[in-house]
Amino acid sequence: MTGYRDAQDPVPYGADDRPAEEHGMTRRQLMRHAGWFGGAVVLTVAGGEVISHIAGSGGTAAEAAAASGGALRFVQVSDSHIGFHGPANMDVVGSFTEAIGQVNTLGFRPDFVMHSGDLTHLSTPGQFDQVRQMMSGLRTDRVFTVPGEHDSIGDAGRAYRQIFGQGTLGDGWYSFDTHGVHFIALVNTLSLEKLGHLGTEQIDFVRKDLAGLSSDTPVVVFSHIPLFAMYPQWGWSTDDALKVIALLRRFSSVTCLNGHVHQLFSKTEGNITFHSATTTAYPLPKPGRAPAPTPQVVPARRLKAALGIRTVGYRQGDRELAIKDDSLPGAHQ
């Protein structure tokens, strides 16, 4: 299939082949999000419905999936904003380095890592090169990306695609399969005129891409800007996403994972669950809690708690998908 990546395709760039370390580190629950997640949300697919429930402190589905052979385990990182300098985080390189170290000491080697956009802050060649080199240190088989609007400044994403667009279609979208799950990576950030927009060519790609899939295939969709209307007043939505949502309605399990909003948020609409990821750079305000979505300065001891990584587990056959969000190491809760 044209533009289709599968598990046999070469790594787009830079991942090494060192064995996974088994440090058995204790991953701290994100207690600051207890009101939102209670630490971890476990998504169970049963009878065609996605059931989201709060996991207890021991024996989560994610841990069960991680412990079982043959499970899919991947990591989402987002919004590293390499090149940002400001009081909200004076060392985004250091924070992203910590996030990479956290991925590399999960106690298992993730099947892949997805960076869901805003890799850089200003789309400069130096920033692209720096983030590419940093991600080459991830101990995983493959690294995938989708662009953020900060990766598309002034050139509609051309510089981004030169480095990260290998094997993609159109303006950088693609899909792949692994462990029985179908993944689609979308682009909704190309220019200020196209922010939060997919376009007919990309929607046609999704239509053809999904056409041959059985409705019981779990589908995961990545995008930078949310596909749900998280807060349209700040551009935290995608104006033509409903055309893609309509194509996804027949599937029993659909999970949409996005960045851009620099905070955890979860929402379920029928068969589709949306999860906004946090950032490794700096927090943004909650929707409507500030005049504009500008970087939030928090006390240094609390910054790490606002930053983090996401681990996703899926055990083939059990139709179980688990999402776990962790703050950076050393965070004060």
Shortest Cβ distance from residue 276 to Fe ion (Å)?
Answer: 11
Shortest Cβ distance from residue 237 to Fe ion (Å)?
Answer: 13
Complex with Fe ion: residue 27 or 81, whichever CB lies closer: 81
Residue for token pair 């935290």: 236
Does the protein bind Fe ion through residue 151 (CB under 5 A)?
no
Shortest Cβ distance from residue 263 to Fe ion (Å)?
Answer: 11
Would you give the DSSP letter of residue 298? -
Residue for token pair 């056409």: 211
Give the binding-site size for Fe ion (rule: CB under 5 A). Answer: 5
For residue 201, give the H/E element and its range: helix 200-211
Shortest Cβ distance from residue 111 to Fe ion (Å)?
Answer: 25
Q: Which of 176, 182, 190 has the alpha carbon at shortest distance from 224?
A: 190
Complex with Fe ion: residue 79 or 209, whichever CB lies closer: 79
What does DSSP say about strands 181-185 and 308-315: parallel, antiparallel, or unpaired?
A: unpaired
Which of 12, 83, 110, 148 contacts Fe ion by CB under 5 A? Answer: 148
Give backbone dihedrals phi and psi of 321, rounded to 5 degrees, phi first.
-125, 130
Complex with Fe ion: residue 120 or 255, whichever CB lies closer: 120
Residue for token pair 């998504």: 43
Complex with Fe ion: residue 15 or 92, whichever CB lies closer: 92
- Contact mark string toward Fe ion, 104..143, x via CB under 5 A: --------------x-------------------------
Helix axis angle for 241-248 and 200-211, nearest 10°, is 10
Residue 213 in tokens: 């899939």
Q: Which of residues 77-96 bind Fe ion (CB under 5 A)?
A: 79
- Rounded to whole angstroms, the Cα distance separating 145 from 155 reads 18
Shortest Cβ distance from residue 60 to Fe ion (Å)?
Answer: 28
- Contact mark string toward Fe ion, 242..281, x via CB under 5 A: ------------------x---------------------
- The DSSP secondary structure of 239-296, one letter per residue, reads TTHHHHHHHHTTSS-EEEEE-SS-S-EEEEETTEEEEE--BSS---PPTTSSSS-PPP
- Contact mark string toward Fe ion, 13..32, x via CB under 5 A: --------------------
Q: Which residues bind Fe ion (CB under 5 A)?
A: 79, 118, 148-149, 260
